[in-house]
Amino acid sequence: MIDFAVVNLSRLQFALTALYHFLFVPLTLGLSMILVIMEAVYVMTGREIWKRMTRFWGLLFGINFAMGVATGITMEFQFGTNWAYYSHYVGDIFGAPLALEGLMAFFLESTFVGLFFFGWERLSRVGHLVVTALVALGSSLSALWILIANAWMQHPVGAQFNYQTMRMELLSFGGVLFNPVAQAKFVHTVAAGYVVGSVFVLAVSAWYLLRGRNVDIARRSMAVAASFGLACALSVVVLGDESGYMASENQKMKIAAIEAEWRTETPPASFTVFGFPDVAARTTHAAVRVPWMLGLIATRSVDEPVLGIVDLVARARVRIVSGIEAHAALKALRANPSDTAAQARFAAHQADLGYGLLLLRYVSEPSTATSQQIEDAAWSTVPNVPVLFWSFRMMVGLGFYFIALFATAFYLSARHRFEQNRWFLRLAFLSLPLPWIAAELGWIVAEHGRQPWAIDGVLPTFLGVSPVPATNVWLSLSGFVIFYSALAAVDVYLMVRMIRRGPEGLGYWPPGSAARSGPQ
């Protein structure tokens, strides 16, 4: 019934295209804010150099922005093309934030981005600054709506299954909007994007300073990146989205997997700094633990337990058994919607319907599942522990590294000592790829950690796919790999070329040049 070749190919395609999209989005988020800061300084001081900075970084922003938009269209199409059952099953809830993203955020960002490039000579100083600010506002608002949609996948509040339409339907839009997971995610993700932008500006400026080029622009850019970056790096770590992890069952499982906490510890639980999670033996070898820390971080208390994987699996087992009841009642209701006994049975068990659906991986009729199949399904609720364990640690390590990097930059900037500390400039330049690695690892922790669910506790990922032939998915997947690789090559080539050329090589400055604004 379910073609697992299609499932795996569709998951791979979604992961690749999402990870690829997420290379460009954080830089758009971060650079747009930095452009606002630089242009605000220009408007307030009237010093031409800040305008040149805004235009130069704006040029690089444009190259990146194109890729963000291009790869974003894929994401909107892909729910329908590859995840048709998912789209039908949760479209009543999930579609709304996506549509609102277009209406409230993407329209704003896209309508004004053209004026950012073409409006320099047509708008007053303040007018142009407002346009730049609206672009930045639009991109951050866009992140807000996407993360509200994503948070609903992690923690599906405000919705209920309707057996007459065979799908989830909205109960409370406010619940979806003010999902606690969404708020935590938004702050964390947007701040992470600002860090990406800051490291980008810091690293490119460091490269100029190392070569003694564009010193005036590079120094000022570094100062902006250092102060903005420091504030954002602190926010990312302090307001990490762990706070949302206790909200639901899957989130608890995610945190247990991240910590490789196989068995529930007596609270407050210790934090495993290092170790080798062993999935087969269900233990972590050579673990180095810090007492109390996990309990404090995850529950903000000393007496609440952080449930371990084995206990969460036991709870999943109970819910699967209940889910079998829900599935059977649903079947009866499909045959006869006015069967009151089945209605009562469904009402009693419908919260566990998703757990019953997990069995469809092993058997086409959940009520005939053997106890071994139920056991397998219960263990299938555990995401990939070593991947989560390591991704999370690398991400957090990078987060602390960024704080140190920006703190040093801030100190050197305040004392005007960049050029005397070439080691720092080299370090800053070499740090260029790190924030992207951290961002992608964050995506892996959040989304790979959501498995096996597409919607936590509601819809298993394997069930969400479109019933399309595997050959089609092969074609699109290989098409994307080739097409995206070519685009990446062009994007990097242009970026490097423009950076090498630098602000002085762009032709239409110095100020007062006769040129009407062009697409800088």
Cβ distance to other proteins smaller for residue 433 or 518 = 518
State how far the Cα of 300 lies from the Cα of 424, in Å rounded to an integer: 37
Given the complex with other proteins, which of 421 and 472 has the nearer CB atom? 472
Nearest distance in Å: CB 137, other proteins:
12
Q: By the 8 A CB rule, do 354 and 459 touch?
A: yes
Closest residue by Cα to residue 377 from 322, 445, 447, 308: 322
Residue closer to other proteins, measured from CB, 46 or 467 = 467
Residue 433 or 479: the one with the smaller Cβ distance to other proteins is 479
Q: How far apart are alpha carbons 387 and 447 in whole angstroms?
A: 12
- Nearer of residues 141 and 209 to other proteins, judged by Cβ: 141
Q: What's the min distance (Å) between Cβ of 238 and other proteins?
A: 33
Rounded to a whole number of angstroms, the minimum distance from the CB of residue 54 to other proteins is 15
Q: How far is the CB of 483 from other proteins (least distance, A)?
A: 6
The CB-of-247 to other proteins minimum distance in angstroms stands at: 23
Cα dihedral: 210, 215, 218, 219 (round 10):
100
DSSP 8-state code for residue 265: P
Give 292 or 509: the residue with its C-beta nearer to other proteins: 509
Q: How far is the CB of 343 from other proteins (least distance, A)?
A: 15
Q: Smallest gap, in angstroms, from Cβ of residue 157 to other proteins?
A: 15
CB of 208 to other proteins, least distance (A): 19
Output the DSSP codes for 476-516. HHHHHHHHHHHHHHHHHHHHHHHHHH-GGGSSSPSTT-SPP
DSSP state of 517: P
Q: Is 170 exposed, middle or buried (0-12, 13-18, 19+ CB in 10 A)?
A: middle
Tokens of residue 323, six digits: 């889910």
The dihedral of CA 145, 151, 157, 160: what is its sign?
Answer: positive
Comparison of 296 and 470: residue with beta carbon closer to other proteins: 470
CA separation for the pair 483, 378 (Å, rounded): 39
Distance CA 463, CA 482 (A): 28
Residue whose CB is less far from other proteins, 138 or 193 = 138
DSSP state of 384: -
